[in-house]
Structure 1
Amino acid sequence: MIMITPVLDAFVRLETDTAGQSPGLVRSVGEQGSEKVKVYWPRKKNTSWHRADELTSGFLAKMEVLHEPVSRAQQSLGWGVVVATRDVAGFAQVLVEFPDAGERRWLPWQRLRMVRGIAHAFNTVRFEQGDAAERQRLRLLAWATRLWNENTGALATFDIDPLPHQIHLVHHILASGQYNWLIADDVGLGKTVEVGLLLSALRQRDEARRVLIITPAGLTRQWQEEMSGKFGLDEFRIYGDDFLINEPRHWKMYDNVIGSMDRLKQEKHLESLLQAESWDLIIVDEAHRLSRRQYGNQLDASQRYDMLEKLRQHTESVLLLSATPHQGKQDSFVGLLELLHPERKEEFDTLSLNPEIIGEMVFRNYKADVTDMEGKFIFHGKTVKQIEVPLSEQARAFDENLRGYLRRGYAAEAADGRTTSRAIGFVMTVYRKLAASSVAAIHTALLRRQARLRGELLEQRCREEDERYQGELEELEAELTQATPFFDGEEELLQDLIDEAGALAQHDIKLQAFMDGLVSTVLGQNSSEKILIFTEYRSTQAWVQDALKQRFGEQASVLIHGGMAMDERREAITSFEEEAGAQFLVSTEAGGEGINLQERCYIMVNYDLPWNPMRLVQRIGRLYRYGQKNRVVVFNVHQSDSADEQILDILYKRLDRVAEDMATVQRHEFNEAMKEDILGELADLVDIEEVLATASRERVERTAERIDEALGRARDAAGKQQELFQHAAGFDPEETRGELAITVVHLQAFVEGMANLLGIDIVERTHKNLVWDLRLPEALRESFGVSKTRWKITFDRMLAARNQDWMPINMDNWFFRRLLDIAVRYDFGGTAALTDGLQGQALFAGVARWQNDRGRRARQELALISIDSERAHLNPAWASDWLVTARSSVNGQIPDKHEATAAFELAAARLEKMLANQAGRTLLPDQPQWLAGGWQTTGQQSPQTNASQEPPDEQY
């Protein structure tokens, strides 16, 4: 038989001891010959030498063991618990459960070392000495950090500081044990951030290897930019843009995919996708577009809905995102719930009777409720000021003449009756929007129309569809109209309008009001004030920037528009945010999403008002967000004397009034933050474009009535949605108040403590203690496999983003991960220690775990249990501060054996209660794992020898 030499501290018995009456512990190997093993026999209290083949396993169930790999090239499986033993073909094997990895393995007994766990240490009152108290503190900090990231994703690499409501949402979903959820947060609360955090946490759990993100066509690139730019998830590829699949087997080359819902719904693409390997998670943005309506007993599902219904069979988890999933349509909302949980269809049929069930699958946050890390409300409100610019007689005449041109265009379309890709009505509507934006915009458009008729304007290829660039795309597409007149006499009318617009542009009253009235007044109060300016169209943007350049110089302003590459946009933002950089940022809707400017700016100017009110909400969201220290001031510049601007003025005033009324009713008194929530909700629900498009054919009074009707429908839909969502899960600080949240202070305390133990020199601390200069000792450099001696680390995400040479302290940093790995090892020490600073007799730490009904780990949390006067307290508030205070070597009174045993039993009972209380439909208790136990000491009696050096008790 093959002879395998056991490791030190292997628990053995003689092959001849068939009854297992005299177990022993391996103390030495090879001193009296390469095959000899020295064993200590506790019952006989002596040692003897034996050949390895004379020994067999002495391990018993529930004993704690440490796996020792054959070579240094292999990693240890860690600290485990014996479950069972067996004999196969004469080889004794041990089944060990490794709680940290969540797996069981049959292993040769010779590779296992017996260790003492927390229960044994307290039952025998054997505590470690020396710096065990400090090692215990660092052990617990390491575990707390790992579990906090696993449950929130908050310590992954990204360029934002997540907010409590975002961390809480991720924690809640992960804690539920299943990932089929509808995230219905208010607009502007960062659903993409929540998804990024969730993906980071799932990757930590190795549960997000294959992810499919389905979005509207215009948002695919934005999702790719967000996942890459903010979270470092660079592997996402856009189906149809970055790659195509010729054969279904090629799908295995792509594990992280973003796809347009309107592309994937097509039969040839969907058929290929359905043959791909299953996905760990499918995420759908703007999920309300997956419409399914019910007519009597018949269901009418859209192609988009059918697509996801088929894909649902190829994944265990679907995450739906929508700020307006209900829209006043109960049948469509139920359809979304069925995509999440097809097995609960019968429950959804009676949703109106049991609305509380949505709390298990719908999560909604409101702006009015979210706070920062200190519990302060994030949104400080905004002030909106209207800058009214009266029309001159010339401008009034031009407006009337332009309307005559538009009426003839609309009439020509109606008379023609044909549907073309670039209908005349579309062009007329775009011209109305351009005229409301600026005289420069309509003048440019009319000149281009004239060039088109003369054959001077060549076909241009439109950029890819992207909903952020709607205005820019409209402006471009309006140029690519038919090259023949829309109606008889168009060319003569065009020339007259071009002359009038050109003359108006020479003395643009709106531009003068903007420059002389608004900008000069703002800068008169603070000459260095930063101002963000929005326009819907590129021609208006260029017009405004030219005026700013003439007065303030070439470098005073920067642009953001859809024609810029991502790097160019970042450069513009950087210049605007630098104190000595550009003072004005002029942006089209390309800057309405995905950029955050709240740190350096609180003043916004809307040079034009978009027809889609959601665009205005998104614009304001660039400044009205977390991190804004000032009340946001918004200036709207418009000429309400023109017909279209009168209608826009009516729309926005009535939208604001409805939101204010609903906010007052919902909170019984006016609440500004709630008003903003409702305003965003209404803006997303109201369908107003068609009303405005037909406004030129109706009197203003009739258009106002139609606006009121549209707002009424939106109000009803919002009301139904709010009533139902009272039962949804939401931000609740109390839910995680009892858990240990890891902050920068904890990270700094951990790194400093580990540096002291490992001989790392902290040479310098700068940037308000957020950047540390470290010097690594030679031994540690060799262990880490690096040659560089000096390293700079930072505890601030933004500082790390600005200096690539500084290592951010997060879970993606190799140095920090190595420190964590060292501290959680059994051999690091600190499992049982005499300590100080406790508010009670003892502090125990364990990992509470739950699994799903398929036996897969679903959740794990750190449980800190303090014992005080025969009472057990779960996660006491003082423990957070205790963990950040270094512990010196402690010598003190060893507790009475009965007292120590009773304390551990009390802690074990409290942990069992925690497991039972949080169990549910999708969460079943799993075996907990004890990490460490500390006893509060007084006096100066020296503790007994390190428990790991003591011979085993006879009870084994």
Structure 2
Amino acid sequence: MTKNRTPLLPVRHAWVKQTLSDQTERVGRVESAIDRGNQVDVTVHWQGENRKSVVPLSSLRCGFRPMMDVQDVPASRTRKTMGEGIVLKTRTLGGRDQVLVDFPRVGKQLWLPYETLKQIKGSKHRFILGETGPADSAERFRLKSLAHALEMWNENTGSLSHLEIDPLPHQIHLVHHILASGNLNWLIADDVGLGKTIETGMLLAALKQRDSLNRVLLVTPAGLTKQWQDELNHKFKMGDFLIYGDDFQINEPRHWKMFDYVIASMDRLKDDRHLAALEQAGGWDLVVFDEAHRLSRRQYGMKLDASQRFQLAAQLRRKTDAMVLLTATPHQGMQDKFQALLELLRPELTDKINSLRNNPEIIGDMVFRNNKADVTDVDGNFIFNGKTTSAMEVSVSQAAKVFDNTLQAYLRKGYEASAKLGVKGNAIGFVMTVYRKLAASSAAAIHNALINRKLRLQTQANIEPMGNYAEKDQRFIGEWEEQLQTEAAQFFDGELDLLDQLISEAERLRDNDRKLQLFLDELIEAIRADNPDQKVLIFSEYRTTQTYIKSALEGRFGAGCVEQINGSMPHHLRHAAIARFEESAQFLISTEAGGEGINLQRNCHIMINYDLPWNPMRLVQRIGRLYRYGQRNRVVVFNIHSPDTADEQIMEMMYSRIEQVVTDLAGVSPEFDSQLHDDILGEIADLIDVSQILEEATVAGIDRTEERINTALALAKEATEKQHELFAYAASFNPNETRNELRITSEHSTAFVQGMFQQLDVEIVDTSHDGRLWHIRIPETMQNALGSTRTRYEVTLDRILAIKRPNTHILDLDSHIMRYLLQEAKSYDFMGLSAVVRNLPNSAALTTSILRWQNDQGHRRRQEYAVFGITEDDQVQINPESFVDWLKRPANTGTVEIDRDQNRRWFLAAEKAADRRLAEVSNRHLHPENMQWVSGAWVGR
């Protein structure tokens, strides 16, 4: 040893050796070390001598030997331990003794000073020696297993992170499949309404737990940036995502590196100025494109014509190793466009992708597709159990026909003026389209808009520019259209006079509104006659209509019977309105703000569409608020429309034709499948531009419009057929995919929390809500560990209950309390490394291990917690179902006769089984990294 240095005091249980005067060596464990200023004295318990002695540190050397189990004990209080490891070799460098330790948890082999290492007994050592542990070792073994199993399951699925919903099996398995593949370049093509946003959030949550997500770029259509930010923040607690252009700007390209979680509009980023700055943003761990079918590259002969959006994606592809594309309709009947998307994902497979017709099976490694018809709940029951849709026709009065004729004349003049002005006239055409949509919604909506238009012409006030339609939040387009400020100049000569006539006719309609009368007298009263307390969800695209309906309902049924949701309400007020609807109010009126993101299936199964959205996709999304997992009743949908008006004739034709095409496609299967019908409806609706067809109808007439509709639907049908044919090869939900893994449920989370509360003296003072809500008191030691002064909490593991009670702490894996419980259970000092357990059939012993895989550059890509059940005759079963069930209940310690030779044999069998599992999961993206033995147990009496 070199004497002229500041000594590093060895930790307790560090192994040392001393050379005696006769040149023999003795080894022992450090009991304590005292720095006396001029000398460090160390108390050592010598191996084989059964005695202790105090010797100077200067006379000691490293005593660790290869294959010893050690624990890193940091010399600095601010550095975290690297956990437990195995000694590989020792060396002396610069006069200091060092130890090479393999730390499987962090995936590193490091040379460390021997003084900071503590000798421990690992699970393998304890199992072979037959050390059965203390009286409560079986329960500690169970809780340690649960802690590792919960973390690994969440790391591989994201399903136990902060969510406002209980994820469905198809969502869990999609994330699991992508992560298990070792390759993060995928096109997620789930049917409309199956939760691609949820799946993406779960994927991000799983990657964050793996510490593999330091920089993410989420690229969306302009109108969806805020929606994505809201979803990630409120459903996943990912509030770090900022919107480029709204929440932050980039003044210099180098400033891009200051932002790690970014949401950006694809049309903003594709601009040359923004794209040049983005080039200097550095690399991204993951880039996600929503509505990826908008990334267009077409092939004309030998020439490729790539849109700016596609060029943006290609440029970002060079900045990341992981890209995820989201779209329900990636093919759209254009094989070259679809292949271009696949090339973005896997450029190294370009040759195979270009010959996709010859080897379509390759998309199984790139495309994941869930069909609504196949989706089930956790018990294997089909989620979508049927719905009934009824059309409620409003008999149009003579006054309504007169108004409609006048309005059509006004629209024709407006469109003609728009056409004469060319591009400059687009704003006029847009206003005409808005007016006809308002007229289809309610007499109140069009009446209000016409009055505002007249006021604009009379005041001649300057207005702000309309802004970019595409930049608006797509959920609230109708509400934005309704508040549109028009130009102060007349669109055409005589407009003001025509407005006066329209306003007068609209006012008479409001005084005798047959649509509102049918809604109240025939529909609402009939629903209430069947059940006076029946809750009803009502949709309208516009706030004026919403207010109009609310006033009518409260006038008849009293104040407080109606709640409403619209785009002007912040997130917490929407949730409060939903809570009041579910608890006391009978009616909830929502604009498209409720068409996505709210789930009302638990207390409501009746929906009324007071107006039909022009985009059929919006109708699918509205129905999805009730027609989803958790709905116990058949969903009943009423659509109110007036078939005698010009626009609604076209809308009726459109919906009727779509229904014919969908039924035709769904009927291709051996027996008609209502779920397949809904899948195809979503696809067809996404391929039809209803607004454009309706605009043409004003000038071309009904016959030309019918031809236009038929042509559009024929193309949509062909595209859908081609897409279905190709997607037969895509990866999809397979419940058997996880059969060899520990499948964790909410029951395991509850069992773990209850067990750890008992171990750590957390008192459950009271329970309520059928035992789902706990009032707890935590001990002082836990307070200190959490860095909190609070002693009492209201906690739950029920996500839905936590949503309804904002001050209740949800014990998901993002909870600081849950993280503390997991950390304690996994720690070496918690023990549970070996035990004798009872009531576990079909096994004589158990060993548990964390298996790990890495990519071809040595970066960790997958971990899996595995249990090996061993029989008397050395046969091994991986993750036996009996163990998964056994974990759910408190464990009692048993007794057993120990045979060390048998223990060695059993452990060797487990090691061979673990090695087989490593080989089984490995592929060209995943390569074995290590196995870390966690615990072992015998099954006794």
TM-score category, normalised to shorter length: over 0.9
Structure 1 CA distance for aligned equivalents of residues 611 and 188 of structure 2: 32
| 1:473 corresponding residue in structure 2 | 480
Report if aligned partners of 1:39, 1:49 keep a CA contact under 8 Å in 2.
no
Asked if 1:448 corresponds to 2:452, the answer is yes
Identical-pair percentage: 49
Report if aligned partners of 2:796, 2:811 keep a CA contact under 8 Å in 1.
yes
Q: 1:766 to 1:364 in 2, by over 3 A?
A: same
Q: 1:539 to 1:72 in 2, by over 3 A?
A: closer
Asked if 1:663 corresponds to 2:669, the answer is no
What is the CA distance between 1:738 and its match in structure 2? 3.2
What is the CA distance between 1:934 and its match in structure 2? 0.6
| 1:821 corresponding residue in structure 2 | 823
What is the CA distance between 1:783 and its match in structure 2? 4.8
Structure 2 CA distance for aligned equivalents of residues 377 and 457 of structure 1: 58
| 2:773 corresponding residue in structure 1 | 771
Structure 1 CA distance for aligned equivalents of residues 939 and 431 of structure 2: 80
Structure 1 CA distance for aligned equivalents of residues 51 and 631 of structure 2: 73
2:684 to 682, 685, 690: 682
1:67 to 44, 65, 72: 72
What is the CA distance between 1:513 and its match in structure 2? 0.8
2:192 to 187, 193, 196: 187
| 2:522 corresponding residue in structure 1 | 517
Structure 2 CA distance for aligned equivalents of residues 137 and 447 of structure 1: 71
What is the CA distance between 1:45 and its match in structure 2? 6.9
| 2:724 corresponding residue in structure 1 | 722
Q: Deviations over 1:403-450 (max 9, x none)?
A: 233333333444x24321544333333333222222333333333333
2:656 to 639, 653, 659: 653
What is the CA distance between 1:518 and its match in structure 2? 0.7
* Residue correspondence of structure 1 range 272-351 to structure 2 within 5 A: 272-351=277-356
| 1:943 corresponding residue in structure 2 | none
What is the CA distance between 1:235 and its match in structure 2? 1.6
| 2:250 corresponding residue in structure 1 | 245
| 2:858 corresponding residue in structure 1 | 855
Q: Deviations over 1:608-652 (max 9, x none)?
A: 112211111111112212222221111010111222212211211
Counterpart code for 2:883: A
Structure 1 CA distance for aligned equivalents of residues 768 and 578 of structure 2: 26
Q: 1:21 to 1:124 in 2, by over 3 A?
A: farther
Structure 2 CA distance for aligned equivalents of residues 435 and 576 of structure 1: 29
| 2:113 corresponding residue in structure 1 | 108
Please give the TM-score of this superposition, normalised by the length of structure 2. Answer: 0.94
Report if aligned partners of 2:847, 2:935 keep a CA contact under 8 Å in 1.
yes
| 1:486 corresponding residue in structure 2 | 492
Counterpart code for 2:282: E
Asked if 1:386 corresponds to 2:388, the answer is no
| 2:12 corresponding residue in structure 1 | 8
Q: 1:22 to 1:721 in 2, by over 3 A?
A: farther
Report if aligned partners of 2:40, 2:57 keep a CA contact under 8 Å in 1.
no
Asked if 1:266 corresponds to 2:271, the answer is yes
Q: 1:18 to 1:559 in 2, by over 3 A?
A: farther
Structure 2 CA distance for aligned equivalents of residues 461 and 767 of structure 1: 53
What is the DSSP-based 3-state SS (H/G/I as helix, E as strand, rest coil) of the residue aligned with 2:374? coil
Q: 1:844 to 1:408 in 2, by over 3 A?
A: same
Structure 2 CA distance for aligned equivalents of residues 829 and 363 of structure 1: 42
Please give the TM-score of this superposition, normalised by the length of structure 1. Answer: 0.93
What is the CA distance between 1:112 and its match in structure 2? 1.5
Q: Deviations over 1:5-36 (max 9, x none)?
A: 43333333335799998654445656999513
Structure 2 CA distance for aligned equivalents of residues 264 and 702 of structure 1: 39
What is the CA distance between 1:322 and its match in structure 2? 0.8
1:709 to 711, 724, 746: 711
Counterpart code for 1:8: R
What is the CA distance between 1:334 and its match in structure 2? 1.4
| 1:888 corresponding residue in structure 2 | 892
Counterpart code for 2:935: A
* Residue correspondence of structure 1 range 81-96 to structure 2 within 5 A: 81-96=86-101
Q: Deviations over 1:522-576 (max 9, x none)?
A: 1111122222212223333333223223222343223333333434433333332
What is the DSSP-based 3-state SS (H/G/I as helix, E as strand, rest coil) of the residue aligned with 2:372? coil
Report if aligned partners of 2:102, 2:108 keep a CA contact under 8 Å in 1.
yes
Q: 1:865 to 1:490 in 2, by over 3 A?
A: same
* Residue correspondence of structure 1 range 459-470 to structure 2 within 5 A: 459=463, 465-470=472-477
Most deviating of 803-812 and 837-846: 803-812
1:125 to 116, 126, 130: 130
Q: 1:767 to 1:573 in 2, by over 3 A?
A: closer
* Residue correspondence of structure 1 range 34-53 to structure 2 within 5 A: 34-42=40-48, 50-53=55-58
Structure 2 CA distance for aligned equivalents of residues 223 and 275 of structure 1: 25
| 1:632 corresponding residue in structure 2 | 635
What is the CA distance between 1:402 and its match in structure 2? 2.7
Structure 2 CA distance for aligned equivalents of residues 761 and 426 of structure 1: 64
Counterpart code for 2:820: R
Report if aligned partners of 1:460, 1:480 keep a CA contact under 8 Å in 2.
no
Q: Deviations over 1:907-940 (max 9, x none)?
A: 11111111101100110011111111111123xx
| 2:540 corresponding residue in structure 1 | 535
Counterpart code for 2:490: T
Q: 1:808 to 1:569 in 2, by over 3 A?
A: closer
Report if aligned partners of 2:439, 2:445 keep a CA contact under 8 Å in 1.
yes
Structure 2 CA distance for aligned equivalents of residues 910 and 573 of structure 1: 52
Q: Deviations over 1:207-226 (max 9, x none)?
A: 11211111111111111111
1:139 to 138, 144, 148: 144
Structure 2 CA distance for aligned equivalents of residues 19 and 135 of structure 1: 46
Structure 2 CA distance for aligned equivalents of residues 927 and 133 of structure 1: 27
Q: Deviations over 1:286-330 (max 9, x none)?
A: 111111111111111111111121122222211111111111111
| 1:915 corresponding residue in structure 2 | 918
Structure 2 CA distance for aligned equivalents of residues 695 and 646 of structure 1: 11
2:435 to 409, 431, 443: 431
Structure 2 CA distance for aligned equivalents of residues 21 and 669 of structure 1: 83
Tell me, which stretches of 5 or more residues in structure 2 are unaligned?
none
What is the DSSP-based 3-state SS (H/G/I as helix, E as strand, rest coil) of the residue aligned with 1:731? coil
Tell me, which stretches of 5 or more residues in structure 1 are unaligned?
939-956
* Residue correspondence of structure 1 range 154-165 to structure 2 within 5 A: 154-165=159-170
Counterpart code for 1:931: V
Structure 1 CA distance for aligned equivalents of residues 35 and 266 of structure 2: 70
Structure 1 CA distance for aligned equivalents of residues 931 and 421 of structure 2: 73
Report if aligned partners of 1:451, 1:457 keep a CA contact under 8 Å in 2.
no
Q: 1:558 to 1:808 in 2, by over 3 A?
A: closer
Structure 1 CA distance for aligned equivalents of residues 708 and 698 of structure 2: 13
Q: 1:776 to 1:251 in 2, by over 3 A?
A: same
Q: 1:864 to 1:497 in 2, by over 3 A?
A: same
Q: 1:553 to 1:18 in 2, by over 3 A?
A: farther
* Residue correspondence of structure 1 range 592-603 to structure 2 within 5 A: 592-603=595-606
What is the CA distance between 1:68 and its match in structure 2? 2.1
